[in-house]
Structure 1
Amino acid sequence: MTVEIPRPPLKGKKALVVGIANENSIAYGCAKAFRELEADVAITYLNEKSKQYVEPLAKALDAPIIMPLNVSKPGELEAVFDAITKQWGKLDILVHSIAFAPMQDLQGGLLNCSAEGFAQAMDISCHSFIRMAKLAAPLMTEGGSMFAMSYHGATEVAPNYNVMGPVKAALESACRYLAYELGPQGVRVHAISPGPLKTRAASGLKDFDLLLNEAAQRAPLGELVDIMDIGFTCAFLATPYARRLTGNTVYVDGGVNIMA
């Protein structure tokens, strides 16, 4: 079967990117990559404090939709999808790049993680992706792609990753089950597992600089990845070139995950 692929391959596609905090965010790398392939992007920001950092980035991306989104606040997620429905009437790409755990639960080890902290980490970091997928799927009338950001600590023990390890494991499993459920309508779902990056989210991890140095030393390619490496991987997976790929956990880490 011959598939007609537009040039650039995402021209005219509509993408929602959730999780930009500043210019160092993985989500920003994704949005930039989509724009380079001429997709239109909708951007969200967490709150008024982060708005000042995200607004200039949205302007640089010519984003026609920029809205607040705290997935813990009732109604905000639905408002974003209402705006997308009203302005675009469809959606082709969804990027979920948000995670959170209370600092005391994140840094105190898994044994000391409170039930409340575990539940909050699971809700924001994992279940919110399922909620987004449920709202996005009806808009993906011509198929589409969904991405959630994971980490190697989901499958191997990463010292100091603590509660986020089990939470990211649940997220990767959710991606596989969503790939199965949404496959019949042509929607593909992937977990993306980047190598360590200096992002605001990573700053909450204890001894993160040691993790960065170790990753650079162990990577077969001999260097760390950057946000555009993750962005262009997602962009490729969103194109028709990857039309038979779904349900994967895709490592973008310079090969660190293959090392014993």
Structure 2
Amino acid sequence: MTEPNGKGSLAGKRGLVLGVANDSSIAYGCAAAFRAAGADLALTYLNDRTRDFTTPLAEALGADIYLPCDVREDGQLDAVFAEIGQRWGSLDFVLHSIAYAPREDLHGRVTDSSRDGFAMAMDVSCHSFIRCARLAEPLMRDGGTLLTVSFFGAEKVVEHYNMMGPVKAALESSARYMAAELGRSGIRVHALSPGPLRTRAASGLDRFDELLDRAAAKAPQHALVTIGDVGALAAFLVGDGAKAMTGGIHYVDGGFNIVG
């Protein structure tokens, strides 16, 4: 993604990436694509235990800002945006790739999900994106882009996806409503919907290998997508070439959504 003058298509843009866990995570694939296109990055890590794994990644990506952020902890997300405001003064894009549900709720029926477990999944996986939008808005004075990560299970019932289906449906709906609300400020909002990927987060789903095999067999392209595929789409959406696009749920799944 390099322009004829040698500058990347995102040169001069600054973005925050939330959710890098390791070099196989969707957030890392997107961050690498942003950086390759010339963007400056701010990255977060979950806690001190995960910092050892993500610090080399932040260094490899040349992250200007690298801060702890557990969205379950009051004040941590606010502190990240405050640091960005102080250091950069503005922000061009945010990638939100965070999801969590308690294992006992995730592996059970939606009908049997606990109130506390459902509330936690909604807060971490959905409402944290809304909070990101609210904090990013004053930093995007010249417009910007907010991206989050969903899955086909938000639209159709996917076996063993369970409680995350309703949660991701809420996330996609939130993205559409915020696109409508923030459009006049030049802020665009999208949800990426990748096909099944071999990430550490996805491995927590019950019988996930079966989902991978089924996706590869049924998708028109008969192959699983990669984090690089997702990153390429994300880099396009935050670039100026997508300035007339907002509110979309963008599938990058080899066509699985049309047959799944």
Give me the TM-score of the superposition, normalised by structure 1: 0.97
Partner of 2:89, secondary structure, is coil
Equivalent AA in structure 1 for residue 84 of structure 2:
I
Partner of 1:192, secondary structure, is strand
What is the alpha-carbon distance in structure 2 between the residues aligned to residue 84 and residue 90 of structure 1? Answer: 7
Corresponding position of 1:143: 143
Is 1:34 matched with 2:47? no
Corresponding position of 2:204: 204
Contact 2:16 / 2:93 at 8 angstroms: preserved in 1?
A: yes
Superposed, 1:153-168 pairs within 5 Å as: 153-168=153-168
Superposed CA offset, 1:190-222 (max 9, x none):
011000001111111011001001111111112
What is the alpha-carbon distance in structure 2 between the residues aligned to residue 149 and residue 128 of structure 1? Answer: 12
What is the alpha-carbon distance in structure 2 between the residues aligned to residue 150 and residue 59 of structure 1? Answer: 27
Corresponding position of 1:248: 248
Contact 2:25 / 2:200 at 8 angstroms: preserved in 1?
A: yes
What is the alpha-carbon distance in structure 2 between the residues aligned to residue 6 and residue 176 of structure 1? Answer: 35
Partner of 2:24, secondary structure, is coil
Identity %: 55
Equivalent AA in structure 1 for residue 182 of structure 2:
L
What is the alpha-carbon distance in structure 2 between the residues aligned to residue 132 and residue 6 of structure 1? Answer: 32
Corresponding position of 1:98: 98
Corresponding position of 2:130: 130
Superposed, 1:16-35 pairs within 5 Å as: 16-35=16-35
Contact 2:20 / 2:27 at 8 angstroms: preserved in 1?
A: yes
What is the alpha-carbon distance in structure 2 between the residues aligned to residue 141 and residue 230 of structure 1? Answer: 27
Residues matched between the structures, number: 256
Equivalent AA in structure 2 for residue 226 of structure 1:
T
Corresponding position of 2:236: 236
Is 1:115 matched with 2:107? no
Partner of 1:32, secondary structure, is helix
Corresponding position of 2:217: 217
What is the alpha-carbon distance in structure 2 between the residues aligned to residue 87 and residue 240 of structure 1? Answer: 24
Partner of 2:193, secondary structure, is strand
1:143 is displaced (CA, Å) by 0.8
Gapped regions of structure 2 (runs ≥ 5): none
Superposed CA offset, 1:35-90 (max 9, x none):
01100010001111111111000000000100000001011011101110111100
1:6 is displaced (CA, Å) by 9.5
Contact 2:19 / 2:45 at 8 angstroms: preserved in 1?
A: yes
Partner of 2:212, secondary structure, is helix
What is the alpha-carbon distance in structure 2 between the residues aligned to residue 188 and residue 93 of structure 1? Answer: 9
What is the alpha-carbon distance in structure 1 between the residues aligned to residue 193 and residue 250 of structure 2? Answer: 6
Runs (4+) of structure 1 moved beyond 6 Å? Answer: none
Gapped regions of structure 1 (runs ≥ 5): none
Corresponding position of 1:169: 169
